[in-house]
Each structure stands twice: as structure tokens, then as C-alpha cells.
């Protein structure tokens, strides 16, 4: 449900993933009506994490053609084409995005995170579903957070059927005490503070 720290938990998972050597892609589904809006945000995030010389080799159709193309070592990145371009065939675009992401995942472990995925546009949800169906044994890990008190869209239901559901349980009083102790040390009134924090968080 809203307010329990889903976004904070997602960020903590991504921080740990980075320390383990994963390349991280993150986006928040905005509820935008534009097709492929979340997929584009994720791709932009991935481009920021990749060396510029390694970008356009996979799925070159995703990028605008410049003349002359950026020279190797120039630090200039090719620009993504507009995913809303009506000349795109939706299925071809979906496959090109998954091919690009999956190609990165074959060379380095990749975490793709989407917060508020209950608000994702249908085209981006189709990209994620296709990714799950085609790279189950690849180096790609998908992490999604959704509000349990929101009505599930058809897009979210399609993703949900492909995912393992993790329930975040409330901390016990002892766990709350240990958490606060790890932050503040053995300070006076820690017991009282832990009890008060635990009581108001139930």
C-alpha cells in the first residue's frame, strides 16, 4: 500500500545491485498516455550508464543517424529516435528495445527497476513482458513495485503473471530496536525510542 516505503525499498535494492557489479536501469511509471514512455525512460537511463562507444552497435535502428557519426572516443552519444514516431512498427520497436537491453545483459548483469508499475503504459508493459519471456536465463533481473491498493490494469496483470511476488512484512518490535540501534548506536533512551517508533508504524 501507499506510504510503506516501496520506492525507498526499490532504491535500497538498486544500491546493493550496484555494489555487486550490476548495471542499473530505473524509471518511475508516470501514467503517461504516450506509448513506450516508460521504455524510453529506461533506455535513456541505460545509455547514461554505458560507455558511449558501445551504444549503437546493438539495435542501431533505435538511434538517429548522424552525419558524420560520432567518432569513437569522442564521448558523444547517439540520440534515440522518437519512440512515438508513427513510422515505427510497434512490434519491431518492441523487439529492438528488448534486443538492445538483452544484448547489454549478455555482457554484464543488468537490473531493470520500475517504480509505480501499476501506472505503466501498455506498450512499455508489453516490452517488459516480452523481455521476461525471451531472456529468462539471461543476465537480466527485473524489479517492479506496485501499489496494492490500486486497481490492476490489464498491463499490470500481464506482468504480474510472470513475476514472483514478494510481500514486505512489518518489522517486529525487536527488529525495530535493532534497526534504530544500527543507526544511532547504544544511546540513552533507545528502548523508549524503538517502542514509540514501532507503535506508531503499525
Kindly give, in sequence order, each residue whose CB lies less than 8 Å from that of residue 54, ignoring residues fewer than 6 positions away. none
Strands (E) located in the chain:
23-28, 110-115, 140-144
Q: Quick one: average pLDDT of 128-148?
A: 85
Pair 84, 44: CB distance under 8 Å: no
**Secondary structure of residue 199 in the 3-state scheme:** helix
pLDDT of residue 74: 55
Specify burial of residue 140 (Cβ count, 10 A radius: 0-12, 13-18, 19+): buried
Q: Quick one: average pLDDT of 133-143?
A: 81
Give dist(CA 145, CA 116) in Å, integer. 6
Locate 22 and state its grid cell. Answer: 550490476
pLDDT of residue 75: 57
pLDDT in tens, 116-129: 999 999 999 999 99
Count of Cβ atoms closer than 10 Å to residue 197 Cβ: 15
Strands 110-115 and 140-144: parallel
pLDDT of residue 18: 93
What's the pLDDT band for 180 if we cut at 50, 70, 90? very high
**Secondary structure of residue 98 in the 3-state scheme:** helix
What's the pLDDT band for 114 if we cut at 50, 70, 90? very high
* Residues paired with 114 in a beta bridge: 27, 144
128: preceding bond cis by omega (within 30 degrees): no
Name the residue with cell 557519426.
69
pLDDT in tens, 93-112: 999 999 899 888 888 899 99
pLDDT in tens, 26-65: 999 988 778 899 999 999 999 888 876 566 556 778 887 6
Is the predicted pLDDT of residue 68 greater than 50, yes or no? no
Q: Where is pLDDT greater, at 136 or 141?
A: 141
Give dist(CA 24, CA 47) in Å, integer. 11
The DSSP call for residue 66 is -
Amino acid at each position: 500500500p501507499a506510504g510503506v516505503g516501496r520506492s525507498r525499498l526499490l532504491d535500497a535494492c538498486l544500491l546493493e545491485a550496484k555494489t555487486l557489479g550490476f548495471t542499473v536501469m530505473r524509471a518511475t511509471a508516470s501514467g503517461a498516455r504516450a506509448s513506450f514512455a516508460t521504455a524510453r525512460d529506461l533506455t535513456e537511463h541505460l545509455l547514461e550508464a554505458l560507455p558511449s562507444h558501445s551504444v549503437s552497435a546493438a539495435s542501431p535502428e533505435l538511434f538517429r543517424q548522424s552525419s558524420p557519426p560520432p567518432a569513437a572516443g569522442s564521448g558523444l552519444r547517439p540520440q534515440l529516435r522518437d519512440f512515438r514516431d508513427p513510422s515505427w512498427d510497434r512490434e519491431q520497436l518492441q523487439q529492438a528495445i528488448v534486443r538492445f537491453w538483452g544484448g547489454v545483459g549478455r555482457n554484464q548483469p543488468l537490473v531493470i527497476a520500475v517504480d509505480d508499475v501499476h501506472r505503466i503504459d501498455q506498450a512499455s508493459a508489453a516490452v517488459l513482458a516480452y523481455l521476461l519471456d525471451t531472456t529468462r536465463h539471461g543476465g537480466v533481473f527485473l524489479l517492479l513495485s506496485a501499489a496494492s491498493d490500486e486497481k490492476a490494469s490489464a498491463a499490470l496483470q500481464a506482468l504480474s503473471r510472470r513475476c514472483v511476488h514478494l510481500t514486505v512484512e512489518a518489522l517486529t518490535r525487536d527488529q525495530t530496536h535493532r534497526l534504530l540501534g544500527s543507526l544511532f548506536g547504544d544511546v540513552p533512551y533507545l528502548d523508549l525510542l524503538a517502542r514509540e517508533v514501532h507503535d506508531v508504524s503499525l
